[in-house]
Amino acid sequence: MTGPEAFEIALAAVTTAGDQDTADEDTGEEEPVPVCRRCGGPIAIFPDRGLRWRHFRGAASTSGTQQVYDPGHAAQVTWILPGEGPDEL
């Protein structure tokens, strides 16, 4: 997938992963965030690095504060609600 739809998905992932305040302003419900099913670490798509899910450290909502790293396995995306732990995957 490399069209406009993929770009929208990538931007949504980058802007929501790591946000501390993930409540939907209209409904008050919390939005799910992407994490790796295998290790529970935060993941996102960084368009400047390609359209792959990548592990990162730091807040994804602030430009330049992320540290993308390789944990030794490919990211396996799953979505959890804030407050849920990796043990609940």
16-43 confidence digits (pLDDT tens):
544 545 455 565 678 999 999 999 999 9
- Choose the weakest-confidence range: 16-20, 51-55, 59-63, 82-86: 16-20
More confident residue, 65 or 63: 65
> According to DSSP H, which parts of the chain are helical?
4-16
Task: Note the pLDDT of residue 20.
Answer: 47
* Whether residue 15 has pLDDT greater than 90: no
Tell me if 17 sits within 8 A of 33, measured CB to CB: yes
Distance CA 58, CA 41 (A): 11
Q: How far is CA 56 from each of CA 20, 25, 79, 80, rounded to the nearest angstrom?
A: 15, 26, 15, 16
* Helices and strands (DSSP H and E) totals, the chain: 1, 5
